[in-house]
Amino acid sequence: MYRTIAQLDEAIDSLLNTRPDLCTSVTLNNSVEGRPIRALRLRAGGGADRRGILIVGGMHARELMNPDAIIELAFDLAQAYTSETGLTYGGAEWSALDIRIMMETLDIWMLPCANPDGRNYVMTTDWNWRMNRRDNPGTPCDGVDPNRNCDFLWRVIGPTTVCNPCSTTQGFVGSLPFSEPESQNIHLLCDTHRIDVFVDVHSFSQFVLFPWGHAPTQTTQPLPNFTNLLAGFCRPLDPPGHQEFMPPSDQVKYQTVATRVADAIRAVRGSSYVLKTIFQVYNGTTTGTSSDYVYSRHISNPALRKTFAFAFETGPNTGNDRLSFQPVDPEPVKFDTKAGLVALIQQSVCAIEFIGETLQARTVDSIRTACDELLEPSEKGRGWIDFVSSVQHELLGIVLSDKALTKRAMSVLGLVRKLSAARGKATVSATDVEEGIEFFESLKSRATRPEVREAISVVNRQLKKASGQTVDTILKKLAKSSPPKF
Amino acid sequence: MKRSKKAAAERQDRSAALLKMRFQATIYPGRNAKTKNWADDLDVDRVPDAEGGVRALITVEDLVRLLKRGLEVRLYRAHAYEPLDPGLIATDKEFKSWLDEGISILKAKPGPKPFVEP
């Protein structure tokens, strides 16, 4: 069953009224036809400047399942948090502590229905409508595709990106970049709130997507990049054959996170989601999309924070396009989608940032810079970052469950911060090593998964070798040695 | 005379409905395709295809245009121009029941004491 716009609005109101301690909202630009559009924020506990994830659904009107899935996810997370039960979708499970960490370390933003006019039109007039309901002046044709209207190589045309409002493509780019309130709301949220991870949920074909959409992605030649390409002329990508650069560390991160998302979806009931770049979906240029826009912001303007942006294409190709967009029973697909989203939310948590910045209100930039400069450039170094990230959720859970351990974690992190700030000069002392090893041994005795206990042993073996060395030397050595594989 | 007017009106309605129908199609380059980018400017409502095929929901006018370009088009299914089946929309009663259950769970417990107080 699919909910009407009025029902989705009522669900948001009820959530806000029942648990104002967990759910707040921001009012965004009204739709073209004047319908209110709101984004929800879920968070529990305190702490300023948290990492944020923004989940968007319903940008394309006919893809009806996703707004329902996202609003249900808001309820599921709030319920799992308050009742301390954890969350289960088929075979995919998250413990009460997992949910607590997500809710207490992140700001989880949701824009469940980005294009309410379009959804209403699908329910009242045309099941196949994809765009918003813009009346295009001087033409008998309505609608702009909000996911081709973002300010990223706008009006560079391709198989699903067109300049003719009367094209049956349903990919009209609009009269100006961000001419549509439905797309403006994406950049409004990114401009006004901290968004580290973004996902735009679409249907169908079972894909987990990431940039780029306008060209194939390559990781070797930083220039020329999209900022050097001509846009705005209703012409195909110029030069043809351009391949867009993505730093290797970003590509690894996209692959790693998307793989974990696909794994979580598979755990629900066996659905197989394939990882692709947006370009690969149509094997052609797609521009003005929200995901490429959101990821490109930090490149167009280096003063802006980097946001890792994904897109999902939920649900299988059933052989009947109408039923693929709007299955008679959408529940199984919604379970898959919700599991993928929870996995993405979980991947957005950063233990070091939470302890350092939220709990201690001090920057962890020195640690980040040391890792960026010394670990990220090499494949082995990135492997070590991935190794730490694969166990961080459980370790953060252990740390937060015990006040004394939380205090010790802050102390160890303070030490690492100090050593990283003076990383070429200050050396790690024998006492520092001892404090670190004792701390990690305390975590090990509480860890339940054997992989996590083994990971701690690996960390402690490295720590034992650290005495008398600078952080630079330690990280350089790590970058040359293979990380363990579990 | 009256009967023929009515028949003409019905024919017109049927034609209008036909023009608005969408056909599920897979498009192939045919013999005339000169470039590997032949599918970039088809100007049709593409849908993703996991196997990399060129699939689209097309109108009769699209079909004629594509055939005139020398492309091959296979049609699989016809979909009428109509709203979502009202039977697929949640009734207010169904919605209320889902919402009430959700809200009652949210009211039942306050939740844990947060790691960091607001």
Inter-CA distances, A190 with A53, A164, A352, B96, Å: 10, 29, 23, 33
Mutate: best of B23, B49, B77, B84, partner A, most A CBs <10 A:
B84
Q: What does the pLDDT read at residue A303?
A: 96
Residue B43 inside a domain? The answer is yes
d(CA A78, CA A84): 10
B35 touches chain A (CB under 8 A): no
- Rounded to two decimals, what is the model's pTM? 0.95
Structure tokens at A359: 């709990």
Residue B57 inside a domain? The answer is yes
Beta bridge pairs of residue B25: B56, B75
Q: Ramachandran region of residue B35, left (φ > 0), alpha (ψ -120 to 50) or beta?
A: beta
Question: With 90 as the cut, is the pLDDT of residue A161 above it?
Answer: yes
Q: What does the pLDDT read at residue A72?
A: 98
Which chain B residue's Cα is nearest to A8? B95
State whether residue A302 is helix, strand or coil: coil
- Minimal CA separation from A376 to chain B, in Å: 31
- A18 vs B52: CB contact, 8 Å cut-off? no
Question: With 60 as the cut, is the pLDDT of residue A383 above it?
Answer: yes
> What's the CA dihedral at A423, A428, A433, A436 to 10 degrees?
-30
Report the percentage of chain A scoring pLDDT > 90: 90
Inter-CA distances, A255 with A96, A251, A276, Å: 27, 6, 9
Out of A180-184, A440-444, A447-451, which region has the weakest mean confidence (pLDDT)?
A447-451
d(CA A216, CA A420): 37
Question: With 90 as the cut, is the pLDDT of residue A159 above it?
Answer: yes
d(CA A262, CA B111): 30
Beta bridge pairs of residue B24: B57, B77
Q: What is the pLDDT of residues A219-263, one digit of tens each?
A: 999 999 999 999 999 999 999 999 999 999 899 999 999 999 999
* ipTM for the whole complex: 0.93
Q: What is the pLDDT of residues A350-364, one digit of tens each?
A: 999 999 988 888 889
d(CA A95, CA A448): 13
Quote the number of domains for chain B: 1
CA-atom Rg of chain A in angstroms: 23
d(CA A155, CA A163): 7
Residue B104 inside a domain? The answer is no
Contacts of A477 (CB under 8 A, 6+ apart): none
A312 touches chain B (CB under 8 A): no
Instruction: Spell out which residues of chain B touch residue A324, defining contact as CB-CB under 8 Å.
Output: 47
* Domains, in order of start, for chain A: 5-347 (3.40.630.10), 351-480 (no CATH)
Mutate: best of A4, A5, A7, partner B, most B CBs <10 A:
A7
The H-assigned helical ranges of A375-402 are 379-400
Residue B58 inside a domain? The answer is yes
B63 touches chain A (CB under 8 A): no
d(CA A364, CA A334): 37
Tell me the residue length of chain B: 118
- Using alpha carbons only, give the angle A252, A306, A480 rounded to the nearest 5 degrees: 35
Q: What is the pLDDT of residues A76-85, one digit of tens each?
A: 999 999 999 9
B49 touches chain A (CB under 8 A): yes
Q: What is the pLDDT of residues B23-67, one digit of tens each?
A: 999 999 988 666 778 999 999 999 999 888 999 999 999 999 999
Could you give the maximum distance between any two Cα atoms of chain B, in Å?
83
CB B40 within 8 A of CB B2: no
Which chain B residue's Cα is nearest to A403? B115
Average pLDDT, chain A: 95
Place of tokens 């808001």: A74
- Using alpha carbons only, give the angle B87, B84, A168 rounded to the nearest 5 degrees: 170
Question: With 90 as the cut, is the pLDDT of residue B76 above it?
Answer: yes
State whether residue B56 is helix, strand or coil: strand
- A317 vs B50: CB contact, 8 Å cut-off? yes
Give the pairing type, strands A87-89 and A92-94: antiparallel
CATH label of the domain that carries residue B13: 3.30.70
Instruction: Spell out which residues of chain B touch residue A2, defining contact as CB-CB under 8 Å.
Output: 84, 88-90
Residue B40 inside a domain? The answer is yes
Residue B100 inside a domain? The answer is no
Residue B89 inside a domain? The answer is no
Q: Kindly write down the DSSP assignment for every residue of A334-375, as one continuous string.
A: HHHHHHHHHHHHHHT--HHHIIIIIIS----HHHHHHHHHHT
**Angle between helices A379-400 and A96-105 in degrees, nearest 10:** 100
Q: What is the pLDDT of residues A26-56, one digit of tens each?
A: 999 999 999 999 999 999 998 888 999 999 9
Determine the structural domain holding residue B53 and report its residue range. Answer: 2-79
Residue B27 inside a domain? The answer is yes
CB A35 within 8 A of CB A117: yes
Which chain B residue's Cα is nearest to A169? B45
Mutate: best of B51, B115, B117, partner A, most A CBs <10 A:
B115
d(CA A206, CA A213): 17
Q: What does the pLDDT read at residue A486?
A: 64
CB A190 within 8 A of CB A296: no
Instruction: Spell out which residues of chain A touch residue B117, defining contact as CB-CB under 8 Å.
Output: 45-46
Inter-CA distances, A136 with A148, A153, A183, A269, Å: 15, 21, 16, 44
